[in-house]
Amino acid sequence: MDNKTISLITGATGLAGRALSKRLLSEGQSIRILVLKNDPLLASYLALFDDKRAIQVCECDITNYLSIAKYFQGVSCVYHVAALVTGDHPKSIYDKVNVHGTRNVLDATLNAKVKRIITVATADVYGLPSGKTITDTSEYSYWGEPYADSKIDAAKLVKQYVTEKGLNASIIHPGWVFGPGDQNLIPAITEMIDSGTVISWGAMKTSVLDMIHVDDLANAMVIASRSGNTIGNDIIVSDNSEGVTFPDLVAIAGKQLNKSYKTIHLPYWLMMAIAKVSALLKKLGVVKSTVLTSTDVRSFGLVFPFKPQAAKNMGWKRKVDTRTAFGECVKASMSQ
């Protein structure tokens, strides 16, 4: 690694981290990525880049401060993207990565005197719909769900470090993130289409989705890192002006897969009941994993009235056409 500007990225091998890595490397920066030992995604991550000389791979664990601290020396900006997102885990597991891990990253950033840090949270921090418009400055509100609540605690921690310790941090809150290599939304939709039956519930028939392509998310992170006006701010990164709905995504995927399907729309309460029974069966040891979680039911089945402004104020705007990009992602997933 040469003397170029060095940015440190946690969670670099994940969906958003890959897009951010590409963006920074395209600008001629060097990047230092923190990855778990034997990260199963590392090989495919490195395969994305022909020239790997500007990438320094550091095996460590953000839940262990001593294992990460030295890597923050000489860094100009930290992008904290790593998080435990998927799965059905106890809150203590989410807290270990999303809260305790974030605290370690913040401490390492401060102790190494890194000038800037961008942390990635989620639009979930604003809670369940209450009938009010959700803006960047809306208060955080707990869901009673382990993932969302752990991200709220992490975001509050960042704010505490800004006000009490002078950390130059901004918090990015993306909507529904998708892009090449997506292992969540796209597989869920294509698997339903492959089965011949697509299930929806609640508001999924008509509600507009707050989609964000990873390239647009990466762009927002970089813009925020170079703007002193965003320090301490919450920044929702989302633009639903295209009016994309869940049926739109299913239709796009169905066309790419060249498969027909039927749609079944179920009541929200029924899906929530299924999620709760599934969670109980897992707790009792009857099943190993849940069919779906109550977080899934709420995230898809409710309408979240976001009206972000902070991202636009710092000069960000969506560049990727959601429908076109989603179709390309589905097509790419067919060859994987």
Sorted by sequence, the CB contacts under 8 Å of residue 197 that are 6+ apart come out as: 261, 262, 263, 264
Residues of the chain with CATH 3.90.25: 185-205+244-301
DSSP assignment of 19-61: HHHHHHHHTT-EEEEEE-TT-TTHHHHHTT-S--TTEEEEE--
pLDDT band at 287 (very low <50, low <70, confident <90, very high): confident
| 295/209 Cα distance (integer angstroms) | 16
pLDDT band at 89 (very low <50, low <70, confident <90, very high): confident
pLDDT per residue over 174-216, tens digit each? 999 999 989 889 999 999 999 999 999 999 999 999 999 999 9
Asked if residue 77 lies in contact with residue 10, where contact means CB atoms within 8 angstroms, the answer is no
pLDDT band at 322 (very low <50, low <70, confident <90, very high): very high
* pLDDT confidence of residue 5: 86
pLDDT per residue over 124-173, tens digit each? 999 999 989 999 999 999 999 999 999 999 999 999 999 999 999 999 99
Residue 52: how many other CB atoms lie within 10 Å: 12
Fold of 185-205+244-301: UDP-galactose 4-epimerase; domain 1 (3.90.25)
- Please state the rounded mean pLDDT for residues 250-257: 96
* pLDDT confidence of residue 4: 67
In CATH terms, 6-179+211-239+305-320 corresponds, of 3.90.1150.10, 3.40.50.720, 2.60.40.3080, 3.40.1390.10, to 3.40.50.720
Sorted by sequence, the CB contacts under 8 Å of residue 60 that are 6+ apart come out as: 34, 35, 36, 37, 67, 68, 71
| 332/334 Cα distance (integer angstroms) | 5
Residues of the chain with CATH 3.40.50.720: 6-179+211-239+305-320
